[in-house]
Amino acid sequence: MAALNNLTEHLEAFVDVTRSPTHHAESLKAIATSLEKGVLSINQLVVEMDMYLTTTDDVVRARGSILLLAEMLDYLKSKPLDNAVVHSLIGFFTAKLAEWRSVRGALSGCLALIKRKGVAGVVTAVDAEAVAKSMAQSIQVQSLALYDRKLCFELLECLLEQYPEAMINLGDLMVYATCEAIDGEKDPPCLMIAFHVVELLARLFPSPSGPVASEASDLFEFISCYFPLHYTHTKGDEASIPREDLSRGLSLAISSTPFFEPYAIPLLLEKLSASLPVAKVDSLKCLKDCAVNYGVSRMKKHYKDLWPALKDALYASTKTDLSFGLESLTSPGFEMGEIHREAVNLLQRLVKQDISFLGLVVEDIRVNMVFDTISRYLRYEEMLDTSKLEVLVVSQILSVSARSSVESCNIIFETFFSRLMNTLGIVEKTSPGDLVHNENSTVSTRLYHGGLHLCIELLTASKDLIPSSEECTSTPESAQQSWCSIVNRFSASLIEAFTSAVQSSNDDCSADAYLGVKGLLAMGMFRGGSSPVSRSEFEKILTTLTSIIAANSAKTVKWELALKALVCMGSFIDRYSESEKAMSYMAIVVENLVSLVRSSHCSLPHPMILEATSEVCSTMPTYVEKMVEGFEEAFCSSFSDFCVSLGPMTLDRKVFTIVSVSISNKQGIESFLISNYYLENTCQVNGNFKSIENCSQLLECVTNKLLPRLTEIDGLEKSLVNFAISMWNQIESSIVFSYDFNGREFVEAAMKTMGEIVGVASVDSQNSIIQKAYNVISSSTLPAMESIPLTVAALEGLQRNLSTRDELILSLFASVIIGASPKASIPDVKSLVDLFLVSFLKGYIRAAQALGSMINKLVTGSGGTNISTDCSLEEACDIIFHESDSSKTICGSETFLGKICLGFCGSLDLQTRAITGLAWIGKGLLMRGDKRVNEIALVLMECLKSTNSSGNALHPSAMKHAADAFLTLMSDSEVCLNRKFHAVIRPLYKQRFFSITVPILESLIVNSQTPLSRTMLHVALAHVVSNVPVTVILDNTKKLLSVILEGLSVLSVDSVHKETLFSLLLVLSGTLTDIKGQQSVSDNAHRIIECLVKLTSYPHLMVVRETAIQCLATLLELPHGRIYPFRREVLQAVTKALDDPKRRVREEAIKCRQAWTSISSRSTPF
């Protein structure tokens, strides 16, 4: 009962037109839910609605009740209903179609019922017929509103789709109804459905005596008036249908039945000749659809008109500028407009469908004329535009026709190819294998560019016709033999001709080289065993291209073209897995290039060899393996060129003994270092500059070319890991390096490569590299450093630098550690920590970075079982800060490191190194979110005060390093501790550091005693502020603004801080524009303007001036009253900036001045 009460309420709500649409929807939903749950049955609902359904009030009856019922049914699409109910409902709606007031409800009711699927109770065919009849007789579609029209079309569509038999019974009636409905329709969504309705009708009545056939002319008239589609109102209707879809729908409708043919084709041809590009494209597309659907026999009638029209379209849409550039080697070489593309598609379709169309093409006078044109000009540039067009279009026509089918290809080749060869003076080979009159034939070859182009186009077209090996068996051999044998007859001389074209080319004309290489490429891309190009010929092509690469000594167009062609062929072989060709390729191209890499002396510059090799070899995994092997060898040979190898060479025994003695006797560090030094000087090795340069170039190639493509090439990772290990092997077996000149570059390159390889390697591979590296390091003299006690005296005593070999080993090892993932196992962590600690105190920053990475990735002690390390984070920290025994504070200023930093002991050098090192360690801790970083930050801030706690003044250089340490802590580093090197990164770590340090820095600034300390504190603060995400700044604008402004004025004093100043200025400019900062900016406007005005004449950095002026322009967004008083001041400053030495500043100044003048009164224009 309650349900019924509610029902009345909801019904009232729905019927009431004055209520809002949301109300309506709610009540509708409520009723639908109760129906669905079964609380209410349809019968009950209808009984309850009795009054509304029969009332004389039209509005209530139509809008309220019938629509309600219809919408309800839409909701209940999947609810099973009794057939009797469906029957009576559809009867009701059918009857209501005749009443125009309630037509919307009736239509949607019918639609909802007709759309019902099988299980849920469906409308019978008889009922559907009745609906269609009633609709056809009583509804004037075009007199209805937009939405109702759409419903009508949908209903028609549904009826035709779901009740084809019933509709066939109706016959003519449906066709009439459709014609009437479409006539005059203008709305895209309705048209979309209307076009589909036409298509359905055509499918329904295929017989030539059917209603569609008899009404074809009328029906076509109604739809053809939309062609070509043109939207008059393009904007504002987002929900509408895009032009392309509608045009496609129209095209399908037009091509839906062959009965339209007598009307459609003439119309389309007429539109094709129009000048409107859209009309051309549409008619070409539509003609293609028609060609598919109307069938050959009907199309045949129009060939005579079709061919000239199509030809004209091709001529009109082709541009004459043929590109001889690198990028067009694998593409047609000229721009393809949409018209052109569609024309080509149509041509291909027509030829494919009916070979007799080709007769028109073959006999065409213009096509035949082209051979004369070709032989008139030798060079492409010399041709007239008309001749160029002729050649391009004809080659396009012929190649497209050839591509369509094997049959057409045969015809084209039979008719034209020999003629073309004659024109070009290329002779066929008489007996298989050898060429008659080899010399004479090349001499008589006339390399007409136009002819070559046509020839290449034909070859490229035909190569797609070679079936892949599986299809090969099904195709009869004879079908494809014809063109294949023609090409085969000429292949040797063709290759000869192309080769001579490439070789005859010089630098100022790329056309020869381009055509030659493209021709060779086309010849080399024939697939499979039935290829017209034999293996020996294929190898000849490869040899030619490879020799071009090897012979050139500078990067010419020819060289690049040849390289690209080789890469194309390589990837083609890989794609179709042609094993035979792969073998040839390997033997000729890969081996040759790799051997070039290996030999350090050849005419080609080393970077070019490397580029060529890496490009060519990355086409297939096996080549990559080969290449990396080659690289390894090359590296080893050049490496051994500049260092003494321990293996085969016999060293001075004495020297060696000294070394071994000193290693065994670990106390005499000093003496061992001396001996090492001695060793280095006694061995006179002729360090080869070239080989060391080659080495670094090779490493750069590995990092820049190979590593980025790791994901694309399988098996590359493994080869690279082997490469890294062999690098270590090489270093292990060599004992002395003699480099000084290019050494730094080499070490840098080696570090980078090593780090990146480790970074991308899997954990297992990382482990093996680490193990190898560890073995090398433990056999070197470096472990001796671990045992140096961490006392000032000992560290100060360690004056002499490491030997170059040790330095290399240390740097490489540090790179390995930096790249290692947290899961990799590092042996003997404790002594490594010691080693790095000592080495960074000796000034090796890489060691500090490695230590930071290690600290970042170590597992905490409480973490329980860990397989990777024998040392937890806590232990490592204990070692570093040397404080495990005495006090609780682990890494504060009381520690040894802290004391050095604060200058309590040790020299200035030691102090600055310690500060830098501490920064890296702090970064490692900060990124993993460890609390110890707070104490490190405190130590660093302590360093920024003018005096330390015992009253000694801090050295300016130490203070500077401490300020820069904040940059290290906050900025994202490229070389270590980033995502690429698997750093452990806690989210929001920057924000956390910001909130800890900024208040302390602020208070320190307030209490600072000397100007220097104040400046340094500002630098530190600027580093922190400019590296934190902008949102954090915006949240704290109020607090930060004054300190930022103060910082800007303090930093602008000294040119040393210009970069810092700039980044701080960028922070300020970020706050100016944001809505959050607006209030405080407005409050501080006077100070901001004062500061910016000063910066407009900052002499040291242009971008600062530029940004300051831009900021001034931005300030105009503030309330007029706030900024007006500063007008004079700003204008003065900006006027001065008009005379700035830099142009960009002047441009900004002009804009800014203009803007500021405009707020002043009209009477002072300048």
Partner 1 sequence: MNWRITPASSSSIKLLSLPLIELRQSRYFYFSLENLLVVCVRGKRMVSGLINENPTVYERKERRVRTDSTNTDEFSVEPIDQLEIFDILFFDFAIVNIHHIRDIRDPEHPYSLEQLKVLTEDSVEVDDHKSYVRVTFTPTVEHCSMATIIGLSVRVKLMRSLPPRYKIDIRVAPGSHATEAALNKQLNDKERVAAALENPNLVEMVDECLSPSFE
Nearest approach in angstroms of CB 1162 to partner 1 is 6
Check binding of 577 to partner 1 (CB under 8 A).
Answer: no
Taking contact as CB under 8 A, which single stretch among the options 920-928, 1018-1026, 1112-1120, 1151-1159 is the one that binds partner 1? 1151-1159
Contact pick of 338, 1143, 1148, 1152 for partner 1 (by CB under 8 A): 1143
CB 182, CB 226: distance < 8 Å:
no
Contact pick of 431, 579, 684, 1163 for partner 1 (by CB under 8 A): 1163
Nearest approach in angstroms of CB 234 to partner 1 is 17
Query: In the complex with partner 1, which residue's Cβ is closer, 359 or 1099?
Result: 1099
Check binding of 1157 to partner 1 (CB under 8 A).
Answer: yes
Closest CA to 520 of 541, 505, 502: 541
CA dist., res. 383 & res. 380, Å (int): 6
DSSP-assigned letter for residue 644: E
Contact pick of 51, 225, 1138, 1159 for partner 1 (by CB under 8 A): 1138
3-state SS of 262-281 is HHHHHHHHHHHCCCCHHHHH
Contact pick of 133, 899, 961, 1153 for partner 1 (by CB under 8 A): 1153
The backbone region for 31, taken as left when phi is positive above 0, alpha when psi lies in -120 to 50, beta otherwise, is: alpha
Taking contact as CB under 8 A, which single stretch among the options 103-111, 112-120, 782-790, 1137-1145 is the one that binds partner 1? 1137-1145
Tokens of 295: 């069938």
Nearest approach in angstroms of CB 1105 to partner 1 is 11
Check binding of 243 to partner 1 (CB under 8 A).
Answer: no
Query: In the complex with partner 1, which residue's Cβ is closer, 217 or 1154?
Result: 1154
Cα–Cα distances in Å, from 932 out to 857, 877, 888, 941, 968? Answer: 15, 9, 12, 15, 17
Cα–Cα distances in Å, from 1109 out to 575, 1102, 1131, 1150? Answer: 57, 11, 11, 10
CB atoms within 10 A of CB 352: 17
Query: In the complex with partner 1, which residue's Cβ is closer, 792 or 1103?
Result: 1103
Closest CA to 764 of 819, 717, 824: 824
Check binding of 79 to partner 1 (CB under 8 A).
Answer: no
CB 58, CB 8: distance < 8 Å:
no
CA dist., res. 1005 & res. 1011, Å (int): 10
The DSSP bridge partners found for residue 643 are: 737
Closest CA to 620 of 669, 655, 568: 568
Q: Which of residues 361-390 bind partner 1 (CB under 8 A)?
A: none
CA dist., res. 1049 & res. 1091, Å (int): 7
Spatial neighbors of 955 by CB under 8 A, at least 6 apart, are 903, 908, 911
Check binding of 555 to partner 1 (CB under 8 A).
Answer: no
Contact pick of 587, 791, 1142, 1160 for partner 1 (by CB under 8 A): 1142
Nearest approach in angstroms of CB 300 to partner 1 is 48
Tokens of 64: 């309220």
Report the relative pairing of strands 734-737 and 643-645 from DSSP bridges: antiparallel
Nearest approach in angstroms of CB 236 to partner 1 is 19
CB atoms within 10 A of CB 78: 10
The backbone region for 683, taken as left when phi is positive above 0, alpha when psi lies in -120 to 50, beta otherwise, is: beta
Nearest approach in angstroms of CB 1134 to partner 1 is 11
Nearest approach in angstroms of CB 1098 to partner 1 is 11
Query: In the complex with partner 1, which residue's Cβ is closer, 938 or 1116?
Result: 1116
Check binding of 1146 to partner 1 (CB under 8 A).
Answer: yes
Closest CA to 861 of 881, 878, 880, 883: 878
Cα–Cα distances in Å, from 833 out to 306, 309, 737, 855, 882? Answer: 83, 82, 26, 9, 12
Coil vs helix vs strand at 1002 = helix
CA dist., res. 892 & res. 279, Å (int): 80
Contact pick of 801, 1158, 1159, 1160 for partner 1 (by CB under 8 A): 1158
Tokens of 124: 């019978």
Q: Which of residues 915-944 bind partner 1 (CB under 8 A)?
A: none
Query: In the complex with partner 1, which residue's Cβ is closer, 21 or 1166?
Result: 1166
Q: Is 1000 exposed, middle or buried (0-12, 13-18, 19+ CB in 10 A)?
A: middle
| Per rule CB under 8 A, count of chain residues that contact partner 1 | 23
Spatial neighbors of 409 by CB under 8 A, at least 6 apart, are 402, 403, 461, 462, 465, 483
Q: Which of residues 807-866 bind partner 1 (CB under 8 A)?
A: none
Query: In the complex with partner 1, which residue's Cβ is closer, 654 or 1143?
Result: 1143
Nearest approach in angstroms of CB 1157 to partner 1 is 7
Check binding of 235 to partner 1 (CB under 8 A).
Answer: no
Taking contact as CB under 8 A, which single stretch among the options 61-69, 257-265, 926-934, 1149-1157 is the one that binds partner 1? 1149-1157
Taking contact as CB under 8 A, which single stretch among the options 128-136, 524-532, 901-909, 1147-1155 is the one that binds partner 1? 1147-1155
Query: In the complex with partner 1, which residue's Cβ is closer, 446 or 1146?
Result: 1146
Nearest approach in angstroms of CB 325 to partner 1 is 21
Nearest approach in angstroms of CB 1111 to partner 1 is 19
CA dist., res. 690 & res. 694, Å (int): 6
Contact pick of 504, 801, 952, 1135 for partner 1 (by CB under 8 A): 1135
Coil vs helix vs strand at 737 = strand
Nearest approach in angstroms of CB 1064 to partner 1 is 18
Query: In the complex with partner 1, which residue's Cβ is closer, 242 or 1099?
Result: 1099
Query: In the complex with partner 1, which residue's Cβ is closer, 690 or 1146?
Result: 1146
Nearest approach in angstroms of CB 1100 to partner 1 is 7
Q: Which of residues 1088-1117 bind partner 1 (CB under 8 A)?
A: 1100-1102
Nearest approach in angstroms of CB 316 to partner 1 is 24
Nearest approach in angstroms of CB 1137 to partner 1 is 9
Tokens of 1012: 């220097």
Contact pick of 243, 366, 1087, 1151 for partner 1 (by CB under 8 A): 1151
Angle between helices 956-970 and 989-1007 (to 10 degrees): 150
Spatial neighbors of 1134 by CB under 8 A, at least 6 apart, are 1096, 1109, 1112, 1149, 1152, 1153, 1156
CA dist., res. 758 & res. 721, Å (int): 8
Contact pick of 238, 327, 470, 1139 for partner 1 (by CB under 8 A): 1139
Check binding of 1132 to partner 1 (CB under 8 A).
Answer: no
Number of helices and strands in the chain (H, E): 63, 2
Nearest approach in angstroms of CB 1144 to partner 1 is 9
Check binding of 1038 to partner 1 (CB under 8 A).
Answer: no
Query: In the complex with partner 1, which residue's Cβ is closer, 633 or 1147?
Result: 1147
Query: In the complex with partner 1, which residue's Cβ is closer, 686 or 1164?
Result: 1164
Check binding of 214 to partner 1 (CB under 8 A).
Answer: no
Query: In the complex with partner 1, which residue's Cβ is closer, 1038 or 1058?
Result: 1058
Nearest approach in angstroms of CB 1146 to partner 1 is 7
Query: In the complex with partner 1, which residue's Cβ is closer, 143 or 1163?
Result: 1163
* Residue in this structure with the two tokens 């056809």, named with its chain if needed: 136
Check binding of 1141 to partner 1 (CB under 8 A).
Answer: yes
Nearest approach in angstroms of CB 1142 to partner 1 is 6
Which DSSP helix (H) or strand (E) runs through 1074?
Answer: none
Give the interface with partner 1 as residue ranges (CB under 8 A). Answer: 1100-1102, 1135-1136, 1138-1139, 1141-1143, 1146-1147, 1150-1151, 1153-1155, 1157-1158, 1162-1163, 1165-1166
